Structure 1
Amino acid sequence: MNSKIKPSKHHVNTEEHSVFSSRNLWSGFLFGVGLVAFMDEAIFHQLLHWHHFYDKSSTAIGLISDGLFHAFSWFATIASLFLFADLRRRNEWQRARWWGGVLLGAGGFQLYDGTIQHKLMRIHQIRYVENVFVYDLVWNVAAVIMLLIGFSLIFFTMNHKKRRITRSHE
């Protein structure tokens, strides 16, 4: 008699699920960072000319810093898409968890930019105007909203995963 128990088709390998769950989160996080960094660069640096990534020097240094910032955003985006493609190939893409990661990455990067780079390091402002407070407020509130929605999606997927694992062991 064979002593091995065959798993049912609803059996969830918790270790594998945890690895893919983490990859979904990281892929989304990197995509969110890359997306917001790209949008910041394209809109505020290039189209509107509100600031450069580094405004404490000459325009030439500001443009070089923008180029490096742009390269960073693309590296984050491309890395995330390689992870995403692997998840899709393995049929392990978890939409809600991935989007939660996107919002965590986007909101986290935007809040970091708005608080650390704008206020603590003072390497640039959103816009050089007399009342920058309004711009800072909108920038940081939008970041917090993205973070709250992202955390909600991640929390939902954690509870959903726990229900799925409990159901598979019944």
Structure 2
Amino acid sequence: MATATARQTESTGVADPSLRKRYTVALVSLGLGLGGFVDGIVLHQILQWHHMLTDYGDASFPRSTVSSLEENTFWDGLFHASTWVFVLFGLFLLWRVAMSGYRASFWSVTGLLLAGWGIFNLVEGIVDHHILTVHHVRDDVADPMPWDLGFLAFGLALLVIGLLMHRRAESRDPVDR
């Protein structure tokens, strides 16, 4: 009892696995991009706790000089441009999946968006805060490590909660909606 628009298999009525994969990739990509926007808008612009290069080795670009702020603003802009690419990619894939007739529950969508945001926090936190040390969550405190670890814990919580939400939603109704 499969419909052409939902691309379900005839025997099971379950959605084509390639649609589920594209749906997952679309929403995780969208979550990555939106998570990056939250980071950039809240931590970089509103709270001004750090910019992209505020702790970049010996050639640090402190927030206290105009030239350093200009340099950081440039790199913050490139960061926002990259998050925008993730958002556009996710929206494009999501549109393609939606055009095929695939539907998912609110909880599944929300879960995958949160998982994407969590992945962003984990990757950005590990790479920028710990490996490259180009900045920390708080570059204006004596010991930034607790803030960096809290950021990673928040990212892990987003990822776990998001995956649990998605899995629970999918297990309740494994057939296309």
Shared topology, TM-score over 0.5? yes
User: Are residue 125 (structure 1) and residue 133 (structure 2) matched?
Assistant: no
Deviations 1:143-167 (A, max 9, x none): 1111112222444466567x659xx
- TM-score using structure 1 length: 0.78
One-letter amino acid of the structure 2 residue matched with residue 107 of structure 1: G
Task: Give the SS at the match of 1:131.
Answer: coil
> What's the % identity of the aligned pairs?
25
Which range is displaced more, 23-32 or 127-136?
127-136
Are residue 111 (structure 1) and residue 110 (structure 2) matched? no
Structure 1 CA distance for aligned equivalents of residues 94 and 101 of structure 2 = 10
- Code of the residue aligned with 1:149 in structure 2: it is I
Task: Look up the equivalent residue of 1:59 and give its one-letter code.
Answer: L
- Is the Cα contact below 8 Å between 2:33 and 2:87 reproduced in 1? yes
Deviations 1:20-49 (A, max 9, x none): 101111111111111110111111111122
Structure 2 contact 128–135 (Cα < 8 Å) conserved = yes
Q: Which residue of 1 aligns with 2:80?
A: 70
Deviation of 1:79 (Å): 1.6
Task: Assess if the C-alpha contact under 8 Å between 1:32 and 1:105 holds in 2.
Answer: yes
1:98 counterpart = 2:97: no
Q: Is the 8 A contact 1:54 1:65 kept in 2?
A: yes
4+ runs deviating over 4 angstroms? 157-161
Q: For residue 51 of structure 2, what is the amino acid of its counterpart?
A: H
What is aligned with 1:5? Answer: none
> How many angstroms apart in 2 are the aligned matches of 1:71 and 1:159?
36
Aligned to 1:3: none
User: Where do 1:9-158 residues align within 5 Å?
Assistant: 9=2, 12-13=8-9, 17-55=16-54, 56=56, 57=61, 58-95=68-105, 96-128=107-139, 129-156=141-168
Contact kept in structure 2, 1:24 and 1:98, CA below 8 Å: no
**For the residues of structure 1 that align with 2:161 and 2:175, how far apart are their CA atoms?**
22
Unaligned runs of 5+ in 1: 1-7, 166-170
> 1:71-109, CA deviations, whole angstroms, 9 ceiling, x for partnerless residues?
111111122112222222322032344333212211011
**Letter of the aligned partner of 1:98 in structure 2?**
V
Q: Helix, strand or coil for the counterpart of 1:124? A: coil
Could you say if the C-alpha distance between residues 9 and 113 of structure 1 is closer, same or farther in structure 2, counting changes exceeding 3 Å? Answer: closer
Identify unmatched segments of 5+ residues in structure 2. Answer: 62-67
Larger Rg: 1
Aligned in 2, Cα 1:22/1:157: closer, same or farther, shift over 3 Å? Answer: farther
User: CA–CA distance in 2 between the matches of 1:40 and 1:75?
Assistant: 15
